[in-house]
Structure 1
Amino acid sequence: MAKTLTPPEALHRSAALCSSSEHCIADIREKLSRWGIGEPDARTIVERLVQERFIDEGRYAIAFAKDKFRFSGWGRIKIRYALQQKRIGNSDIVNALSLIDEEAYTTRLADLLEKKSRSINDEDVEVRRSKLLRFAASRGFETELVFRILKEIES
């Protein structure tokens, strides 16, 4: 078990953590719990971090959405779900998702589908299409967009 921290030590450590990279309230609460900080102290620490702008859920949502799209190739549905799991507010999620460039989004999906299509050995068009659809859905892309891109790839 990790060493239990005092509330001032936990505040200092969590402030240092938040200044090096974006974190949400849920992440910090989890860390505080692991450090042995009780709920009243954790609430006070989180309030202070938010007040001093070490934690900003809107800023976190934007950074998370951009990173997951750019580096992991996630679609909007998967990003939305992951942010909801972290208890980010709906308005922050909507704002973050709206900042994803639409052209880059469709290009990324087309590239992913073309790459995946080359790895599928099945010759049956329907089986191939269903495998590509499942792949894109697992990445969190919208079904109607996937169908549109698949039509473009097939023609």
Structure 2
Amino acid sequence: MYKKKPTQISSKAALSKVQFICSKQEKCCSDIRKKLQDWNISADDQDEIINSLMEDKFIDESRFTNFYVRDKYRFNKWGRIKISYHLKHKQIQERIINEALEQINDQEYKENLQDLLQSKLRSLKDDDPYQLKTKLYRFAQSRGFESQLSLNLINDLLSELK
């Protein structure tokens, strides 16, 4: 089977490459570290490159987190829990995540979930209210919305159907 040859480049070339990458798209430290590891850059050189990128403002965890939250919320229609989970996976500090999530308007967030649930309800064929509630709840959870908010909106939605 074909195996990809490990790439080996110098630290200086790696710095130049990641500067170019970061100038085109927001990245976090863990994304860059992963790329540097793929290029077989030593751990000390990785730290040096990442520090250089942060000093030169190519990488800013807060800026990255704000963009990430906004994009995943608006375009992917993710809830706070799913966004937070993915950011934690990228090793972003809890404080930075919470600050970025606070920028989501609560009323807009609730309306967004309500629209998603109504859309999902139209696509469901079940007549049994229990089955409908279960499917809508699972859907909301898979999108990363809070349990209580999801249940309240699902109950309101299903009570309107009666």
Q: Please, what TM-score do these two structures have when normalized by structure 1? A: 0.96
Q: What CA RMSD, in Å, does the superposition of the two structures yield over aligned residues? A: 1.0
Choose which of 63, 68, 72 in structure 1 pairs with 2:67: 63
Alpha-carbon distance in structure 2 between the residues aligned to 1:78 and 1:146: 14
**2:111 maps to amino acid:** T
Alignment match, 2:153 = 149
1:117 matches 2:115: no
TM-score, with length taken from structure 2 = 0.92
Give 5+ residue unaligned stretches, structure 1.
none
Q: What letter is aligned with 2:36?
A: L
- 1:26-37 matched pairs, under 5 angstroms: 26-37=30-41
Secondary structure, aligned partner of 1:84: helix
Q: CA deviation at 1:126?
A: 1.0
Residue 103 of structure 2 is aligned to residue 99 of structure 1: yes
Give the match's secondary structure for 1:80.
Answer: helix
**2:87 alignment partner, SS class:** helix
Q: Give the partner amino acid of 2:17.
A: R
User: How far apart are 1:104 and its partner, in Å?
Assistant: 1.9
Query: What corresponds to 1:54 in structure 2?
Result: 58
Q: Percent identity?
A: 39
Match for residue 141 of structure 2 among 102, 124, 137: 137
Unaligned runs of at least 5 residues, structure 2: none
Aligned length: 155
- Aligned AA (2:125): N
Amino acid at match of 1:10: A
Provide the residue aligned with 2:90 in structure 1.
86
- Letter of the structure 2 residue corresponding to residue 80 of structure 1: S
Match of 1:42 among 46, 51, 57: 46
* Equivalent-residue separation in structure 1 for 2:70 and 2:56 (angstroms): 24
The 10-residue stretch of structure 1 (95-104 or 75-84) with the greater mean CA deviation from structure 2:
95-104
Give the deviation of 1:114 after TM superposition.
Answer: 0.6
